[in-house]
Amino acid sequence: MLAVFGKKIANPPQELSLPFKGRGNLKTREEVAALISSGRADLTRYMFCNGDFMAVSHQDEHATHPRISFISLSTCKNFGCARSIVVIDDIFCIFNGYLHNTCDLRRRYGLSRQATEAMVVVEAYKVLRDRAPYPADQVIKELDGKFSFILFDSRATKLFLARDRDGSAELHWGVAADGCLVCSDDPGIVRKSCGDRYTPFPPGCLFKSEEGLISFDHPLNKVRGVIREDDEGYGSAVIFQVDLFTRLQSIPRRGSDANWSSVTAIEGD
């Protein structure tokens, strides 16, 4: 799966744009599109009016074993994991992996038995969008499985990414030559597109273009980009991790959300 969005929409973290010693050959949005199209006859691509796009291909994916790090073949057969893309109400979602609790989530969101994991993610996103300030970390915590996904709300022009806390399903991101955000489950594509401005998407995190990176388990702590240095002391890469010493300002909740927060605080004590 691949998604490329301009800086204005994606609002990527500044750390992804830091120049390092081995800059590499950065590509533009158009060159990235040509890269993914080359030799992929089964490519499904959605182009948006500003040149941004999302694409998915099953070329490098086994029918029962997609690009997931340490899941056995029998487990994948049981849960039918694969890459899939859906478009619902101008919301585009590419899902990679599987969920253990798809049946429970279908009932929760009032979906049919035929609803896929990607459809479940779209409905979960609608809850966040339509019931703000509902906490995004709580919604993603409900997804029990090995997964990564890329979601774009074309009406609201909002981008939403997430990866399971074990980092079992691949997701990588970087910044291209023209400042576009490049996201894919194929690290080779991101590396060819972004050179050294490339890094794995942090496990257990979600990214909303209007809010930035958020950790599932530590939603009130900042997720910070840390520069890794080589043996000569030069910056060589950036890795995102939770800063347990830096707290974020929380949004005051009202009504049922306020009650939910109070219960959570009591349980935490």
Is 234 within the bounds of a domain?
A: no
Measure the CA dihedral 183/188/193/197, to 10°: 70
Is 243 within the bounds of a domain?
A: no
Mean pLDDT of the chain: 81
Is 103 within the bounds of a domain?
A: yes
SS3 state at 2: strand
Number of Cα atoms under 13 Å in the Cβ half of residue 194: 29
Alpha-carbon span 7 to 5, nearest angstrom: 7
- Listed as ranges, residues in the chain with pLDDT below 70 are 19-24, 39-41, 58-81, 132, 229-236, 249-269
Res 260: pLDDT: 39
Is 82 within the bounds of a domain?
A: yes
Is 259 within the bounds of a domain?
A: no
Is 228 within the bounds of a domain?
A: no
Q: pTM to 2 decimals?
A: 0.81
Alpha-carbon span 223 to 214, nearest angstrom: 6
pLDDT per residue as tens digits for the range 212-264? 999 988 999 999 888 776 666 565 678 898 888 878 765 554 444 444 343 33
What residues have CB less than 8 Å from 19, skipping those under 6 apart?
196, 197
Number of domains in the chain: 1
Res 73: pLDDT: 30
Res 176: pLDDT: 93
Question: Which range of residues forms the domain containing residue 130?
Answer: 2-219
Which CATH number characterizes residue 134's domain? 3.60.20.10
Exposed e or buried b for every residue in 56-95, given b needs 16+ CB within 10 A? bbeeebeeeebbbeebeeeebeebebbbbbbeeeebbbbb
Res 91: pLDDT: 96
Q: Which residue's structure tokens are 């609201």?
A: 156
Is 150 within the bounds of a domain?
A: yes
